[in-house]
Amino acid sequence: MIALLVLGAVMAQPYPWLAAARETIEARVAPPPGFRRVAESAGSFGAWLRGLPLKPGNPPVRLFDGRLKADQSAHYLVLEVDVGPRDLQQCADAVVRLRAEYLRAASAQDRISFRFTNGTPARWSAWRDGMRPLVRGNQVTWEKRAEADASYANFRRYLDAVFNYAGTASLARELERVPDPRRIQAGDVFIQPGFPGHAVLVVDVAEDAAGRRAALLVQSYLPAQDIELLRNPATHESPWYIIDGDGPLVTPEWRFPPGSLRRIGDSAR
């Protein structure tokens, strides 16, 4: 059984989409020379992200419909996280997916809530109870149109609805700016809102004796595709990014300007 400790108990299904055990980010990706992983408390979002499963070997990145992504140079490894059969789980959506999956696994389901682009909150608890969004132009109302259903399959349908009506613009409004990027944490997000914008999620952090921090980043993109652990184009083979100031972050497919690092609010962590 794949399990994580959470608040002294066992998180029995931390990755419920996973059919079989896989090697994790922590197991396969060593810190850079001279760095050690930052300690994460058992059951934290950071510990859960560090334990995300990876596909065996280094397979190509595939789009939601099974086709190969045109650019295969951006990824270091590929996460074992399903994409779904529709062009929905794109960049901000991958951040939403992983955050929501963690909260569900951690028995914090009432904290699963994201906003649609127009600002309307979409709460899993409402969807679970049978409420559904009715979209008319830029207006969204919620109506009781289904039976209550707390199943994982219904949870995934809820996420598809969020993916469909949310994006980088709405996600950025929910996150707090990080005043000192040198104190980057797992679970932080580099995000540039727009139509389209882009977002990458910090899934692991290491630190050296001088206090410099390095981060591992994952992304989906568009069209929807496998979530990939990014290479650092500045160091060619390494996936680690040294975060030593508030300069731009250059990833293989996006340049984030200074001030792009955001964080989930303390009340939501």
Q: Which residues 6+ apart lie within 8 Å of 254 measured at CB? A: 192, 198, 200
Distance CA 145, CA 133 (A): 9
**What is the dihedral sign for C-alpha 42, 155, 52, 18?**
positive
Q: Which residues 6+ apart lie within 8 Å of 130 measured at CB? A: 144, 145, 146, 147, 148, 149
Residue 76 near residue 239, CB atoms below 8 Å: yes
Q: Which residues 6+ apart lie within 8 Å of 55 measured at CB? A: 22, 77, 78, 79, 80, 226
Distance CA 221, CA 227 (A): 8
pLDDT in tens, the chain (269 residues): 244 544 434 476 899 999 888 999 999 999 999 999 999 999 999 999 999 999 999 999 999 999 999 999 999 999 999 999 999 999 999 999 999 999 999 999 999 999 999 999 999 999 999 999 999 888 999 999 999 999 999 999 999 999 999 999 999 999 999 999 999 999 999 999 998 899 999 999 999 999 999 999 999 999 999 999 999 999 877 999 999 888 899 999 999 999 999 999 754 44
Q: Which residues 6+ apart lie within 8 Å of 260 measured at CB? A: 190, 191, 192, 249
Residue 41 near residue 95, CB atoms below 8 Å: no
